[in-house]
Each structure stands twice: as structure tokens, then as C-alpha cells.
Amino acid sequence: MAIATHNPIMIERSQREASEQAYVVDLKKFIASDIDPICRELADTVREVNLPEINEQSRDEHIVVRKKLEKTKPYRDWVHLMRTAQDMMWDSIATPLDRQLEALNTKADIKNPRGSVTVDPGFTVPRYLTKSDVHRMPGGYAAINADGDVRQGAMYDLGGFIYHMGGNNGTLNDARGHTLMSHIYARDPDFNPQRILEMGCSAGNSSVAISGYLAGTEMHSIDASAGLVNYAHARAESMGATIHFSQQDAAATNFEDSSFDMVCSCVMLHETSKHTIADIFNECYRLLKPGGLMVHLEVPYRYEDLDLWGRIRADYEGQHNNEPFWRGFLEVDLETIAQQAGFIDRIETYQDVTRKAERGGGKMREKSLGVHRSWYIYSAIKPK
């Protein structure tokens, strides 16, 4: 069965609700195009004016500048607008979602599925995911109201489209999955796995995109949240994809040793600590067959590539958007972690974004082209 090019279980919106969401997209675009550059310029000016003081503490230059910016109106307005736009986004989704939640949960109860979904009532969601509502999404990833409930997944799915302002392949919000495959095909044009695992699948956007390239491959996707895997399953089934979803911790899964040809994730690692990333890499190593491939796609920059304003902006994610590990992740030494886990043929690169991966195509670069044009990728092989 061909994979559908739209998602039949996306939250339906009245014209008024859709236009409220279009307003949020416009507001986010306005902040990026009109307010962001003012703050960038102001940050450079603050640095210049305070040069001697900052030089003494150069390691944390951006923190000194940020603290001074926090006393200025443009920066405070920027923070206020960023937070407001994010909260307006979730509010604008909650209204249509709650109106149709019962119908959505019924639609998500798939009869005769091709794939499967398994949630674990005894599962303890890692504390770092329940401690705060990641992305300021009310209830976070982990809130669940009833068995089979899809609320958080549905909210995250529509939120992803608005958050990316359509730039991650429209409402499908799946360019990450295509870009991950593009990297794999650039590494190995003959890639034909029997069994693969995706970690941190969320609403299943990238999962369905990946599965579209791999007819005949047994695909498993896991996430720590029941509400997300329930929704991801319903979304995948409605779109014609065959995927086995389960609620599991990526750092300690219940799969057997050496049972996958590829283990991957899309934008999961930056939501975990350095310590957990090491556990996840060790788990990937355990799960892979000899010669198997580990691939993690991530946010499109590393700390050393960011300019002053980029670093201040990275702090914003932790301070105001409930992304406690964002800033730390940009500096994590994945190379050492992967090496210590035993991986070889390690590649750290930026992959050009695509909406259709081609075998032998796909471009890797040393420098990022920026948001929605590149994704950072770390990939490596388990020795034979």
C-alpha cells in the first residue's frame, strides 16, 4: 500500500481556528524577520561597549551580554513575544482538539491494523520528561487521560507544523525523516535493512517518512510517552504505513541483543542529558547487528558555529521554552561517547534537507546552511 501524502487524523479546524493559527505563524515569522535582527545588532553593540569587562570572562561572553540585554526593552520585548507566540500556538490547538477529542480517540482505535502499538501501564517516564512541559506544551509529552488516548500526540503533531511555520514539509512535518534517509543513502546507496528501530518517534512524522523508503523492512518505533505512540500508531495506519510502536525508554529497551540493522532518532538527543546520551549510544550498540548503522539527526548547529546572538538564543530554549538540555547538547562530545561505546566509521556532518531521498544522492557539508536547510547528523557503524 502506498503511503498517503496527507494525514487523515490531523485535528480538523474551523476557518476561524485555522486563521487564528495562521496569525500565530505570521507572528512567529514577524519575530524572526523584524525583532530578532534588532536584538542581534543590539547584542553586538553591547559587546563592543563593554569589551574590556567581557574579555576578562570570554568563556561566557554571551552570558555577560545577555545579562545586560535583559535590562533593555528590545530584548525583553523579544522574550515576551517569543513566549506569547508559543503559548498562543498551544492555546489555538487546544480549542479544536478538546472539541473533537472523543471522535479523534475513536478514529485512533484502529481495527485490523497492519502494524501495532504497545503501551506499558507499569512504565515510568524518565523524570526529565515529566519535570517540565517541554516546548511549553501544556501537559508535556507524558500527560495521558485514558487508555488509548491520543491527545498529546495530536497536539504535538499540529504544534510541529505551526512551530516550524510549515518549513519542515508542511502539515506532514516530516522532512527530518527524508533527510535522515538521504544521509543513509549517501553513506550506503545499497542500504536494504531487514529490521530497523527508531527512537523518540513522538507523533510518528519522521517514522512514516522513513518507512516509505523501506517496503518489506520490519520497522519499530519507540517513545517514552503513551499518548504519543498511541497517536503515532493511528497516524501511521491512517497513512498506510506498517510500523510497530511501543512505549519504551531509549536508554533501556526490551529488544534482544544484535537484532537490528539500523537504529536511528530524529531530534531526540537534544532533549536528554549527556549521561543519558551515553546510555542511549550503549543501547544502540547492544541492539545493532555487527555491521549495523546508528544514525541520529539533530538541530542544525553546534555551539562552536554559533555567533554571539545565536548563543544567547540557545540559552532562551532552556530559560523560557523548557528545553533544559538544549544548550548543553550543542556542546556534547558525541564523538567521544560513540568511540567509547565501540562505534567505528563515525561521521559528524550537516545533511542538506530533502523531501525525497535518492540512493547515492544527498549532500553532506561541514557547515550548516541553517534552519530548514540543513540538519546535523551523527552516524556510525558497529564493527563486524
Ligand X SMILES: C[S@@+](CC[C@H](N)C(=O)[O-])C[C@H]1O[C@@H](n2cnc3c(N)ncnc32)[C@H](O)[C@@H]1O
Q: Does 224 bind ligand X (CB under 6 A)?
A: yes
Of 54 and 234, CB closest to ligand X? 234
Q: Which stretch binds ligand X (CB under 6 A): 30-38, 93-101, 246-254, 312-320?
A: 246-254
Q: Does 251 bind ligand X (CB under 6 A)?
A: yes
Strand partners, 264: 198, 295
Binding track over 318-357 against ligand X, x by CB under 6 A: ----------------------------------------
Residue closest to 143 by CA, chosen among 132, 159, 9: 132
Indicate the residue type of 361: G
Q: Does 10 bind ligand X (CB under 6 A)?
A: no
Tell me how far apart the alpha carbons of residues 324 and 296 are, in angstroms, rounded to a whole number.
19
Judged by CB under 6 A, the chain residues 157 through 176 that form the site for ligand X are 176
Q: Does 46 bind ligand X (CB under 6 A)?
A: no
Q: Does 249 bind ligand X (CB under 6 A)?
A: yes
Residue partners of 3: CB distance under 8 A and separation at least 6: 208, 211, 212, 239, 240, 241
Least Å distance, CB 280 to ligand X, is 7
Least Å distance, CB 225 to ligand X, is 5
Cell of residue 69, nine digits? 540585554
Q: How far apart are the first and last CA of the chain?
A: 35
Binding residue count for ligand X, defined by CB under 6 A: 23
> Concatenated DSSP letters for 156-187?
HHHHHHHHTTTTTTGGG--HHHHHHHHHHHHH
Tell me how far apart the alpha carbons of residues 75 and 89 are, in angstroms, rounded to a whole number.
21
User: What residue has cell string 486563521?
Assistant: 19
Q: Does 267 bind ligand X (CB under 6 A)?
A: yes
Residue partners of 144: CB distance under 8 A and separation at least 6: 151, 152, 225, 226, 227
Least Å distance, CB 246 to ligand X, is 10
Residue of this chain nearest to ligand X (CB atom): 200
What residue spans of 244-377 are helical by DSSP H?
274-287, 308-320, 326-329, 334-341
Of 61 and 352, CB closest to ligand X? 352
Q: Using CB under 6 A, which of 129, 214, 295, 337 touches ligand X? A: 129
Q: Does 117 bind ligand X (CB under 6 A)?
A: no
Which residues form the interface with ligand X (CB under 6 A)?
Answer: 126, 129, 141, 176, 199-202, 205-206, 222-225, 228, 249-251, 266-268, 271-272
